[in-house]
Amino acid sequence: GEDVEQSLFLSVREGDSSVINCTYTDSSSTYLYWYKQEPGAGLQLLTYIFSNMDMKQDQRLTVLLNKKDKHLSLRIADTQTGDSAIYFCAERNAGNNRKLIWGLGTSLAVNP
Amino acid sequence: DTAVSQTPKYLVTQMGNDKSIKCEQNLGHDTMYWYKQDSKKFLKIMFSYNNKELIINETVPNRFSPKSPDKAHLNLHINSLELGDSAVYFCASSLTGGGLDSPLHFGNGTRLTVT
Protein backbone atom coordinates (compact mmCIF):
# COMPACT_ATOMS: atom_id res chain seq x y z
CA GLY A 1 0.00 0.00 0.00
CA GLU A 2 0.94 3.64 -0.01
CA ASP A 3 3.45 4.69 2.59
CA VAL A 4 5.41 7.79 3.54
CA GLU A 5 8.44 7.53 5.81
CA GLN A 6 10.48 10.10 7.66
CA SER A 7 13.07 9.98 10.38
CA LEU A 8 11.52 11.00 13.68
CA PHE A 9 14.12 13.38 15.11
CA LEU A 10 16.65 15.93 13.91
CA SER A 11 18.80 18.23 16.00
CA VAL A 12 20.80 21.13 14.57
CA ARG A 13 22.61 24.21 15.82
CA GLU A 14 21.21 27.65 15.21
CA GLY A 15 22.55 29.08 11.97
CA ASP A 16 23.24 25.67 10.42
CA SER A 17 21.19 24.17 7.60
CA SER A 18 18.59 21.52 8.37
CA VAL A 19 17.69 18.78 5.94
CA ILE A 20 14.56 16.76 6.59
CA ASN A 21 14.11 13.70 4.41
CA CYS A 22 11.04 11.80 3.31
CA THR A 23 10.53 8.73 1.15
CA TYR A 24 7.29 7.55 -0.37
CA THR A 25 6.17 4.47 -2.23
CA ASP A 26 3.40 5.67 -4.52
CA SER A 27 4.76 6.32 -8.00
CA SER A 28 1.57 8.10 -9.06
CA SER A 29 2.04 10.91 -6.54
CA THR A 30 1.05 14.27 -7.96
CA TYR A 31 1.67 16.76 -5.20
CA LEU A 32 4.00 16.42 -2.25
CA TYR A 33 3.64 18.69 0.74
CA TRP A 34 5.56 19.83 3.77
CA TYR A 35 3.50 20.87 6.76
CA LYS A 36 4.86 22.45 9.94
CA GLN A 37 3.36 21.97 13.39
CA GLU A 38 4.53 24.29 16.13
CA PRO A 39 3.99 23.26 19.76
CA GLY A 40 0.35 23.42 20.79
CA ALA A 41 -0.85 24.41 17.33
CA GLY A 42 -2.38 22.87 14.25
CA LEU A 43 -0.48 22.01 11.11
CA GLN A 44 0.28 24.72 8.60
CA LEU A 45 1.23 24.23 4.99
CA LEU A 46 4.86 25.22 4.58
CA THR A 47 5.46 24.45 0.94
CA TYR A 48 4.60 21.94 -1.75
CA ILE A 49 6.02 20.65 -4.99
CA PHE A 50 4.36 19.20 -8.05
CA SER A 51 5.69 15.86 -9.18
CA ASN A 52 6.98 17.19 -12.51
CA MET A 53 9.36 19.54 -10.72
CA ASP A 54 12.65 18.57 -9.13
CA MET A 55 13.30 21.67 -7.08
CA LYS A 56 11.39 24.52 -5.53
CA GLN A 57 12.92 27.39 -3.58
CA ASP A 58 11.10 29.79 -1.31
CA GLN A 59 13.33 32.11 0.73
CA ARG A 60 15.12 29.89 3.28
CA LEU A 61 13.31 26.76 2.15
CA THR A 62 14.45 24.46 -0.65
CA VAL A 63 12.46 21.40 -1.63
CA LEU A 64 14.19 18.72 -3.67
CA LEU A 65 12.31 15.89 -5.34
CA ASN A 66 13.97 12.80 -6.75
CA LYS A 67 11.06 11.08 -8.43
CA LYS A 68 13.12 8.10 -9.54
CA ASP A 69 14.10 7.30 -5.95
CA LYS A 70 10.78 8.60 -4.54
CA HIS A 71 12.72 10.85 -2.20
CA LEU A 72 11.69 14.30 -1.02
CA SER A 73 13.75 16.62 1.13
CA LEU A 74 13.22 19.95 2.83
CA ARG A 75 16.25 22.10 3.43
CA ILE A 76 16.00 25.03 5.82
CA ALA A 77 18.91 27.45 5.48
CA ASP A 78 20.19 29.43 8.48
CA THR A 79 17.95 27.50 10.88
CA GLN A 80 16.51 29.59 13.69
CA THR A 81 15.09 28.59 17.08
CA GLY A 82 11.66 29.54 15.72
CA ASP A 83 12.02 26.72 13.22
CA SER A 84 11.78 24.18 16.05
CA ALA A 85 8.65 22.20 15.22
CA ILE A 86 7.42 18.93 13.79
CA TYR A 87 7.61 18.72 10.01
CA PHE A 88 5.21 16.39 8.23
CA CYS A 89 5.68 15.13 4.72
CA ALA A 90 2.49 14.21 2.84
CA GLU A 91 1.70 13.03 -0.64
CA ARG A 92 -1.43 13.12 -2.73
CA ASN A 93 -1.75 10.70 -5.60
CA ALA A 94 -3.74 10.98 -8.81
CA GLY A 95 -6.04 8.08 -8.03
CA ASN A 96 -7.28 9.11 -4.61
CA ASN A 97 -6.81 12.84 -4.59
CA ARG A 98 -9.07 13.45 -1.66
CA LYS A 99 -6.78 11.62 0.71
CA LEU A 100 -3.32 12.60 1.79
CA ILE A 101 -0.84 9.97 2.88
CA TRP A 102 1.11 11.33 5.83
CA GLY A 103 4.52 10.63 7.24
CA LEU A 104 4.92 10.30 10.99
CA GLY A 105 6.60 13.70 11.29
CA THR A 106 10.18 14.77 12.00
CA SER A 107 10.71 16.68 15.22
CA LEU A 108 13.32 19.38 14.57
CA ALA A 109 15.16 20.75 17.59
CA VAL A 110 17.26 23.86 17.06
CA ASN A 111 19.91 24.43 19.70
CA PRO A 112 21.29 27.92 20.37
CA ASP B 1 -11.74 35.72 11.46
CA THR B 2 -10.09 32.36 12.08
CA ALA B 3 -10.22 30.16 8.99
CA VAL B 4 -10.84 26.79 10.67
CA SER B 5 -12.07 27.00 14.23
CA GLN B 6 -12.83 24.15 16.55
CA THR B 7 -14.30 24.13 20.02
CA PRO B 8 -13.55 23.41 22.73
CA LYS B 9 -9.77 23.79 22.83
CA TYR B 10 -9.51 21.55 25.87
CA LEU B 11 -11.91 18.84 26.98
CA VAL B 12 -11.45 16.82 30.16
CA THR B 13 -14.03 14.18 30.89
CA GLN B 14 -14.53 10.84 32.56
CA MET B 15 -14.69 7.44 30.98
CA GLY B 16 -18.12 6.47 29.75
CA ASN B 17 -19.27 10.01 29.03
CA ASP B 18 -20.47 11.29 25.65
CA LYS B 19 -18.91 14.45 24.23
CA SER B 20 -18.89 16.51 21.05
CA ILE B 21 -16.29 18.63 19.31
CA LYS B 22 -17.41 21.28 16.85
CA CYS B 23 -15.64 22.57 13.77
CA GLU B 24 -16.44 25.42 11.41
CA GLN B 25 -14.56 26.80 8.42
CA ASN B 26 -15.13 30.12 6.70
CA LEU B 27 -12.89 29.46 3.70
CA GLY B 28 -15.63 28.31 1.36
CA HIS B 29 -14.04 24.86 1.17
CA ASP B 30 -16.18 21.89 0.30
CA THR B 31 -14.24 19.15 2.05
CA MET B 32 -13.68 18.77 5.77
CA TYR B 33 -11.73 16.26 7.82
CA TRP B 34 -11.18 14.94 11.30
CA TYR B 35 -7.70 13.80 12.27
CA LYS B 36 -6.47 12.22 15.49
CA GLN B 37 -2.97 12.93 16.76
CA ASP B 38 -1.74 10.64 19.50
CA SER B 39 0.81 11.32 22.24
CA LYS B 40 3.65 10.43 19.86
CA LYS B 41 2.39 13.08 17.42
CA PHE B 42 1.36 10.48 14.83
CA LEU B 43 -1.41 11.87 12.65
CA LYS B 44 -4.25 9.64 11.45
CA ILE B 45 -7.22 10.57 9.35
CA MET B 46 -10.56 9.53 10.79
CA PHE B 47 -13.23 10.96 8.51
CA SER B 48 -13.69 13.21 5.53
CA TYR B 49 -16.85 14.86 4.23
CA ASN B 50 -17.33 16.47 0.85
CA ASN B 51 -20.38 18.69 0.57
CA LYS B 52 -21.97 16.95 3.55
CA GLU B 53 -21.30 13.50 2.09
CA LEU B 54 -19.02 11.05 3.90
CA ILE B 55 -16.15 10.12 1.57
CA ILE B 56 -13.47 8.79 3.88
CA ASN B 57 -14.20 6.61 6.87
CA GLU B 58 -11.07 5.00 8.21
CA THR B 59 -11.11 2.18 10.74
CA VAL B 60 -12.66 4.11 13.59
CA PRO B 61 -14.84 2.64 16.37
CA ASN B 62 -18.57 3.13 15.95
CA ARG B 63 -18.51 5.26 19.08
CA PHE B 64 -17.22 8.07 16.85
CA SER B 65 -19.89 9.67 14.72
CA PRO B 66 -19.24 12.67 12.50
CA LYS B 67 -22.07 14.97 11.49
CA SER B 68 -22.00 17.61 8.78
CA PRO B 69 -25.08 19.86 8.87
CA ASP B 70 -23.66 21.93 6.01
CA LYS B 71 -20.40 22.11 4.13
CA ALA B 72 -18.98 24.72 6.53
CA HIS B 73 -19.43 22.55 9.61
CA LEU B 74 -18.22 19.12 10.64
CA ASN B 75 -18.85 18.00 14.20
CA LEU B 76 -17.52 14.92 15.94
CA HIS B 77 -19.55 13.12 18.56
CA ILE B 78 -17.93 10.48 20.72
CA ASN B 79 -19.98 8.03 22.80
CA SER B 80 -18.82 6.04 25.80
CA LEU B 81 -15.40 7.65 25.98
CA GLU B 82 -12.44 5.42 26.74
CA LEU B 83 -8.96 6.19 28.10
CA GLY B 84 -7.47 5.43 24.67
CA ASP B 85 -9.50 8.23 23.13
CA SER B 86 -7.23 10.75 24.82
CA ALA B 87 -5.50 12.63 22.02
CA VAL B 88 -5.54 15.88 20.12
CA TYR B 89 -8.26 15.99 17.49
CA PHE B 90 -7.74 18.24 14.50
CA CYS B 91 -10.33 19.50 12.09
CA ALA B 92 -9.18 20.51 8.62
CA SER B 93 -10.69 21.66 5.35
CA SER B 94 -9.67 21.86 1.72
CA LEU B 95 -10.95 22.56 -1.75
CA THR B 96 -11.64 19.56 -3.93
CA GLY B 97 -12.56 19.17 -7.53
CA GLY B 98 -10.76 21.21 -10.14
CA GLY B 99 -7.02 21.09 -9.59
CA LEU B 100 -5.31 18.53 -7.44
CA ASP B 101 -3.49 21.25 -5.56
CA SER B 102 -5.73 21.57 -2.55
CA PRO B 103 -3.72 21.82 0.63
CA LEU B 104 -5.36 21.32 3.98
CA HIS B 105 -6.07 24.11 6.39
CA PHE B 106 -6.05 22.93 9.99
CA GLY B 107 -7.74 24.12 13.13
CA ASN B 108 -5.69 24.49 16.30
CA GLY B 109 -6.86 21.21 17.75
CA THR B 110 -8.95 19.99 20.66
CA ARG B 111 -7.00 18.26 23.40
CA LEU B 112 -9.23 15.54 24.79
CA THR B 113 -8.26 13.96 28.11
CA VAL B 114 -10.28 11.03 29.36
CA THR B 115 -9.80 10.18 33.03
Among B101, B103, B109, whose Cβ lies nearest the Cβ of A42?
A: B109
Label residue B113 by pLDDT band (50, 70, 90).
very high
Q: Is the pLDDT of residue B110 over 60?
A: yes
Percent of chain B with pLDDT over 90: 67
* Contact list, B102 vs chain A (CB under 8 Å): 97
The beta-carbon neighbor of B108 closest among A42, A94, A98 is A42
Report the alpha-carbon distance of residue B34 to residue B13 in Å, rounded.
20
Taking only the tens place, the pLDDT of each residue in B30-61 is 999 999 999 888 899 999 888 888 888 887 89
Q: Which of A33, A41, A107 is facing B103, going by the closest CB pair?
A: A33
CA-CA distance, B22 to A7, in Å (whole number)? 33
Do residue A48 and residue B56 have CB atoms under 8 angstroms apart? no
The pLDDT score that the predictor gives to residue B70 is 92
B98–chain A nearest CA distance, Å? 11
Taking contacts as CB-CB distances below 8 angstroms, the residues of chain A near B44 are 102
Mean pLDDT computed over B89-113: 84
Closest CA–CA distance from residue A82 to any residue of chain B (Å): 18
More confident residue, A86 or B96: A86
pLDDT tens by residue, A21-49? 999 988 777 889 999 999 888 999 999 99
Consecutive 10-residue averages of pLDDT for chain A (112 residues): 88 97 86 92 92 93 95 97 96 71 94 92
The pLDDT value given to residue A37: 96
From CA A111, how far away is CA B44, in angstroms rounded? Answer: 30
Residue B97: the pLDDT is: 53
Number of CB pairs < 8 Å for A and B? 58
Chain B residues in contact with chain A using a Cβ-Cβ cutoff of 8 Å: 4, 31, 40-45, 48, 50, 55-56, 90, 92, 96, 100-109
A37-51 burial, b if ≥16 CB within 10 A, otherwise e? beeeebbeebbbbeb
Residue B98 has a pLDDT of: 45
What 3-state class would DSSP assign to B68?
A: strand
Taking contacts as CB-CB distances below 8 angstroms, the residues of chain A near B104 are: 35, 43, 45, 100
Lowest-confidence region among A26-30, B72-76, B88-92? A26-30
Yes or no, beta carbons of B103 and A48 under 8 Å apart: yes
The letter for the amino acid at A47 is T
CB contact under 8 A, A44 and B106: yes
Q: Looking at the DSSP assignment, which residues form a beta bridge with residue A36?
A: A44, A87
Asked whether the predicted pLDDT for residue B99 surpasses 80, the reply is no
- Determine the pLDDT at residue A27: 78
Q: By CA distance, what is A92's nearest residue in B?
A: B100
- Place B89 in a pLDDT band, splitting at 50, 70 and 90: very high
Give the residue from B101, B97, B105 showing the smallest Cα distance to A52. B101
Q: What does the alpha-carbon distance between residue B43 and residue B58 come to, in Å, rounded to a whole number?
A: 13
**Amino acid identity of A61?**
L
